[in-house]
Amino acid sequence: MATPGGPRPGNAPPNHNPNALANNMQNLQINQPNQQQSSNVGGTAPRPPNTSPFGQQPPPFTGSRPGPPPPGVFARGPSPPSTPAQTTLPPNMVPARPTGPPPGSRPPPFASRPPPSGALPSSMTGTAAPPHSGAGPRPGPFSSSPLTSGPSAPPQMSSHGPVSNGPPAFAPGMTQSGPRFPPAMGGMPRPSAGPPQSTPMLSSGPSSQPLQVRPSFGSPPAGALSSIGQPAPPFSAPSQAPPFSAASQAPPFSASPQNMPPPPGSLPFSPPVPGVLQSSGSPYGMQTWPPQQQQQQVAPPPPIPGAMQKQQMFGMPPGQPPLPNQSMSLGQTGQSKIDPNQIPRLSTSSSVILHETRHDNQANPPPPATSDYIVKDTGNCSPRYIRCTINQIPCTVDLLSTSAMQLALLVQPLALPHPSEEPIQVVDFGESGPVRCSRCKSYINPFMKFIDQGRRFICNFCGFTDETPRDYHCNLGPDGRRRDADERPELCRGTVEFIASKEYMVRDPMPAVFFFLIDVSMNAIQTGATAAACSAISQVISDLPEGPRTMVGIATFDSTIHFYNLKRALQQPLMLIVPDVQDVYTPLESDVIVQLAECRQHLEILLESIPTMFQNNRIADSAFGAAVKAAFLAMKNTGGKLLVFQSVLPSTGIGSLSAREAEGRSNISAGEKEAHKLLLPVDKTLKTMAIEFAEYQVCVDLFITTQTYVDIASLSVVPKTTGGQVYYYYPFSALSDAAKLYNDLRWNVMRPQGFEAVMRVRCSQGIQVQEYSGNFCKRIPTDVDLPAIDCDKTIMVSLKHDDKLQEGTECAFQCALLYTTVYGQRRIRVSTLSLPCTNMLSNLFRSADLDTQFACILKQAANEIPSGPLAQVRDQATNACINILYSYRKFCATVSSSGQLILPEALKLLPLYTLALLKSNGLRTDGRIDDRSFWMNYVSPLPTPLVIPLVYPRMIAIHELDEKELELDDSVIPTSIPLSSEHISDDGVYLLENGQDCLIYVGTSVQQNVLQQLFGISSVEEISNQFILEQYDNPLSKKLNAIVNEIRRQRCSYLRLKLCKKGDSSGMMFFSYMVEDKTPSGLSYVEYLIHIHRQIQSKMT
Partner 1 sequence: MAEFLDLESQDSVRMPWNVLPGTKADAANCVIPISAVYTPLKPLPAAMPLLPYSPLRCRNCRSVISPFSIVDFSSINKIWICSFCLQRNHFPPHYQSISEQNLPAELFPQYTTIEYETTAPHEKAEGGSSNVFLFVVDTCVIEEELGFLKSALLQVLGMVPENCLIGLITFGTYVHVHELGFGQLPKVHVFKGTKEVTKDQLLEQMGFFLKRPRPTAGVIAGVRDGLSQESVARFLLPASDCEFVLNSILEELQKDPWPVPSDQRAARCTGTALSLAAHLLGVCVPGSGARIMAFLGGPSTEGPGAIISKNLSEPIRSHKDLDKDSVPHYHKAVKFYEALSRQLVHQGHVLDVFACALDQVGVAELKVAIEKTGGLVVLAESFGHSVFKDSLRRVFQSGDNDLGLSSNGIFEINCSKDIKIQGIIGPCASLDKKGPLCSETVIGQGNTTAWKLCGLDKTTSLCIIFDVIKKENPDIIAQSANNQFFFQFLTYYQHGNGQMRLRATTLSRRWVAGPGIKEDLISGFDQEAAAVVMARQVSFKMETEAEFDPIRWLDKSLIHICSQFGEYQKDSPSSFSLSPRLSIFPQFMFHLRRSQFVQVFNNSPDETAYFRMILNRENIANSVVMIQPSLISYSFQSGPEPALLDVASIAADRILLLDSYFTIVVFHGSTIAQWRKAGYHELPEHQAFAHLLQAPRDDADAIIRERFPVPRLVICDQHGSQARFLLAKLNPSATYNSDGVAPGGDIIFTDDVSFEVFLDHLQRLAVQ
* Distance, C-alpha 940 to centroid of its chain: 12
One-letter amino acid for residue 424 of the chain: I
Q: What is the DSSP string of 128-144?
A: THHHHHHHTTTHHHHHH
273 contributes a contact to partner 1 by CB under 8 A: no
User: How would you label 680-712 residue by residue, b for 16+ Cβ within 10 Å and e otherwise?
Assistant: ebbeebbbebbbbbbebbbbbbbbbbbeebbbb
Based on the shown chain and the rule CB under 8 A, indicate whether residue 577 belongs to the binding site for partner 1: yes
DSSP string, 200-218: HHHHH---PPPPP--TTTS
What is the number of other CB atoms lying within 10 angstroms of the CB of residue 1000? 24
Measured from the CB atom, is 632 or 938 closer to partner 1? 632
Determine whether 506 is exposed, middle or buried from the number of CB atoms within 10 Å of its CB (0-12, 13-18, 19+). exposed
In the list 27, 560, 842, 940, the residue contacting partner 1 (rule: CB under 8 A) is: 560
Could you tell me how many residues of this chain bind partner 1 (CB under 8 A)? 31
Q: What is the DSSP string of 758-807?
A: EEEEEE-TTEEEEEEESSSB-SSTT-EEEEEEETT--EEEEEEESS---T
Q: Would you list the DSSP string of 233-296?
A: -TTIIIIIIIIIIHHHHSTHHHHSGGGSS--SSS-SSS-SSTT-TT-SSSTTS------SSSS-
Using CB under 8 A, pick the residue from 398, 471, 486, 589 that binds partner 1. 589
The distance of closest approach from Cβ of residue 635 to partner 1 in the complex, given in angstroms and rounded to an integer, is: 16
In the complex, what is the shortest distance from the CB of residue 524 to partner 1, in angstroms, rounded to a whole number?
16
The whole-angstrom separation of Cα 213 and Cα 282 is 8
Q: How far is the CB of 561 from partner 1 (least distance, A)?
A: 9
Q: Tell whether residue 587 is a contact of partner 1 (CB under 8 A).
A: yes
Q: What's the min distance (Å) between Cβ of 1060 and partner 1?
A: 41
> Please, what is the minimum distance in Å from the beta carbon of residue 474 to partner 1?
51
Tell me which of 85, 470, 478, 571 binds partner 1, using CB under 8 A.
571
Judged by CB under 8 A, the stretch of 219-227, 559-567, 642-650, 699-707 that binds partner 1 is: 559-567
CB of residue 633 to partner 1, shortest distance in Å: 11
CB 477, min distance to partner 1, A:
59
Region from 114-122, 567-575, 776-784, 1066-1074 binding partner 1, contact rule CB under 8 A: 567-575
Site membership for partner 1, residue 601 (CB under 8 A) = no
Angle of helix 177-187 relative to helix 153-165, nearest 10 degrees, comes to 100
Tell me: does residue 583 bind partner 1 (CB under 8 A).
Answer: yes
Q: Which of 162, 92, 100 is nearest to 122 (CA)?
A: 92
Residue 182 CB-half CA count within 13 A: 45
Q: Looking only at residues 608 through 647 of this chain, which bind partner 1 when binding is defined by CB under 8 A?
A: 609, 612-613, 618-619
Q: Tell the smallest beta-carbon distance from residue 591 to partner 1 (Å).
A: 6
Given 94, 299, 462, 575, the residue binding partner 1 (CB under 8 A): 575
Contact stretch for partner 1 (CB under 8 A) within 369-377, 381-389, 582-590, 777-785:
582-590
Judged by CB, which is closer to partner 1: 620, or 1017? 620
The stretch among 43-51, 217-225, 544-552, 560-568 that binds partner 1 (CB under 8 A) is 560-568
| Options 64-72, 396-404, 573-581, 1002-1010: segment touching partner 1 (CB under 8 A) | 573-581
Position among 232, 485, 574, 1017 found at the interface with partner 1 (CB under 8 A): 574
CB of 590 to partner 1, least distance (A): 5
Q: Is residue 232 at the binding interface for partner 1, with CB under 8 A as the rule?
A: no
- Comparing CA positions, the residue from 240, 231, 322, 233 lying closest to residue 276 is 322
Binder of partner 1 out of 53, 579, 671, 731 (CB under 8 A): 579
462 binds partner 1 per the rule CB under 8 A? no
Nearer to partner 1, 564 or 645 (CB): 564
**Longest distance between any two alpha carbons in the chain, whole Å:** 89
Scanning residues 318 to 357, which ones bind partner 1 (CB under 8 A)?
none
Q: Which is nearer to partner 1, 580 or 997 (CB)?
A: 580
| Range in contact with partner 1 (rule: CB under 8 A) among 502-510, 556-564, 700-708, 837-845 | 556-564
Return the residues of window 120-179 that contact partner 1 according to CB under 8 A. Answer: none
State whether the Cα torsion 1056-1060-1066-1069 is positive or negative.
positive
Does residue 453 bind partner 1 (CB under 8 A)?
no
Is 590 an interacting residue with respect to partner 1 (CB under 8 A)? yes
- CA–CA separation, 177 vs 869, rounded Å? 41
Of 224-232, 414-422, 580-588, 674-682, the window that binds partner 1 (rule: CB under 8 A) is 580-588
Cβ count within 10 A of residue 771 = 13
Pairing outcome for strands 495-499 and 989-993: unpaired
Among 298, 451, 570, 597, binds partner 1 (CB under 8 A): 570
- Give least dist CB 625 to partner 1, A: 16
Q: Contact between 580 and partner 1 (CB under 8 A)?
A: yes
559 binds partner 1 (CB under 8 A): yes
Which of the stretches 108-116, 607-615, 893-901, 1046-1054 binds partner 1 when contact is defined by CB under 8 A?
607-615
Under 8 Å between Cβ of 763 and 802: no
Identified binder of partner 1 from the candidate list 569, 670, 780, 966, rule CB under 8 A: 569
Residue burial 730-747, b: 16+ Cβ < 10 Å; e: rest: bebbbebbbbbbbbbbbb
Q: How far is the CB of 685 from partner 1 (least distance, A)?
A: 20
Work out how close the CB of 616 gets to partner 1 at its nearest, in angstroms, rounded to a whole number: 10
**Beta carbons of 1055 and 993 less than 8 angstroms apart:** yes
CB of 569 to partner 1, least distance (A): 8
Task: Report the alpha-carbon distance of residue 374 to residue 360 in Å, rounded.
Answer: 19
- Do the Cβ atoms of 932 and 925 come closer than 8 Å? no
Q: Does 506 bind partner 1 (CB under 8 A)?
A: no
CA–CA separation, 142 vs 317, rounded Å? 42
Question: Binding segment for partner 1 among 390-398, 572-580, 917-925, 1083-1091 (CB under 8 A)?
Answer: 572-580
Q: Which stretch binds partner 1 (CB under 8 A): 249-257, 326-334, 606-614, 756-764?
A: 606-614
**Rounded Cα–Cα distance for residues 831 and 811 (Å):** 14
Contact (CB, 8 A) for 575 and 562: yes
Smallest gap, in angstroms, from Cβ of residue 738 to partner 1? 23
Question: What's the closest the beta carbon of residue 652 comes to partner 1, in angstroms?
Answer: 10
- Tell whether residue 576 is a contact of partner 1 (CB under 8 A): yes
> Please, what is the minimum distance in Å from the beta carbon of residue 636 to partner 1?
14
Give which of 71, 117, 724, 99 is closest to 369, Cα–Cα.
Answer: 99
Q: At what angle do helices 153-165 and 114-125 cross, to 10 degrees?
A: 60
Q: How far apart are CA 499 and CA 485, in angstroms?
A: 19
- What's 848's DSSP letter? B
588 binds partner 1 (CB under 8 A): yes
For residue 988, with 0-12 CB atoms within 10 Å meaning exposed, 13-18 middle and 19 or more buried, which class applies? buried
Q: Residue 1018 class from Cβ within 10 Å (0-12 exposed, 13-18 middle, 19+ buried)? A: exposed
Per CB under 8 A, residues contacting partner 1 are: 559-560, 562-564, 569-581, 583, 585, 587-591, 606, 609, 612-613, 618-619
